[in-house]
Structure 1
Amino acid sequence: MSFRDEFLRLLREDEEFRLTVLGLLGITDVQSSLRQLVSAVNELATGQLKVMEVLDKVLSITQSILEEIKKLTDNQNKLWEENNKIWQEIKAIKEENNKIWLEIKALRERADRHDYELSRLNRKLDALGARWGVNSEDAFRDAVKEFLSSAGYSVDKWSYFDDGGYVYGYPSQIDLDLVIKDNRLIVAEIKSSVSRGDLWALKRKVELYEMVTGVKVNEVYVITYYINERHPDVARKMAKGLGIRLVEPEELTS
């Protein structure tokens, strides 16, 4: 009989043997189960460590996200502050523009009043010319010449054809009124109105006269009752810079 057959017979016939074998088999199963349980616990612990590592990473990422959110919030607040500043500046610019427009309106009103006063002045000058009998420039010139002659001045006229265009830039007839007294030569341009262009042309006429005749002019006068410029003081300063003295009505009557 083989070992296997003997072992099976004992299991069938010997109850004590059978119980002993069953007990041995149970202990083996328990030991195996324990080993499996320990292995499972170890795997669970390892998995838990991995979960904790992942949680740490998640917490770190979450912290970074919170910091970025805080930065974005701070930046957003700064943007709102800057936006408010810009709106305040825009408001200030609008207010300044309104002030400028009000000033422009006031300037226009003053310009209108100036035009009105200038128109009134022109009418007064026309009336003055009519009363003196000098509506034309020639008549005004003759009246002033007569006044100078009666005051002891010698009045003469110099005429010259400027073929080189020294005065105006093209050939033209040049006339100068000369006033002589006590060996002093005075050029007196007598005009009912004068502009800055007239002053510059007179300066060139005097230079041409001195070049042609070789005679030095001592003084240059412009006798007029009206400065035909929007800003008469500019013409007065220009005349002074050119060495020309402007004689206006208040000087003639003072």
Structure 2
Amino acid sequence: MTGLVTEEEMIRSIRGHLPQLLRSDPSLGDYILSVTREHFPTKVETEDRFTRMLNELARDREAQSRKWDEQNRKWEEQNRKLDGQNRKWDEQNRKWDEQNRKWDEQNRKWEEQKEENRRNWEESNRRFDAMNKRIDRSLGALGSRWGTQSERAFRDALAAILVESFEVEVINVNEFDDEGEVFGRPDQVELDVIIKNGLLILCELKSSMSKSDMHTFERKVRFYERRHKRQATRMIVVSPMIDDRARQVGEHLGIELYPDSLDVPV
């Protein structure tokens, strides 16, 4: 008695004999295709479906490309606008830089003008002060001559100007002339001495100088030279009032004449 065939055995048998059966009976293949067509699409249907999928993908890609192109166009347009704005900003910055340069130049000119005005003001004040001092000394000379101011105070003022203006030391020398070389009789001889860089400068600082005063000053110089065995480099008279005849004598004796202490080239 033959046993029952299981489903698994049947499937193995079909797999083993199916290729031969299909070769021997072509209609079997058609039958199998008709049965399987209900569950699986045909090659043509598969190809059509694949083609449709490719076409849909292509359309999606084209649509996406158009969207990207449109977005790129918008970005390029935006970049052009930004470039235009940047050019405007650059131009504005250039104008600001130019304006700042002009302001800096103007400020520099103002500072230079302010400094120039300051120097002019200081120079004017210096000249004004010098003029006032000259006037004061001239008035002092007049006062000294008329007895309202002592000759000593006037001489000290002139000496102080020399010290302050030229940084020299004015030494007042007072020596006794035993033989009367200066005044024709023994007497005190007073003379102002400046020593600078090895130079010996002998000075007479007075409110006024007459012809006889000029001769007396020259004798004072010779007296000093003989006593100290040293020759004077320069002889200087500073006086705001020098008689014309005294001026002639001074020039003849080689004495430098100055109306003011500030005029002395020490």
TM-score normalised by the chain length of structure 1: 0.45
Higher relative contact order (CA 8 A, sep 6+): 2
Radius of gyration: which is bigger?
Answer: 2
When normalised by structure 2's length, the TM-score is 0.43
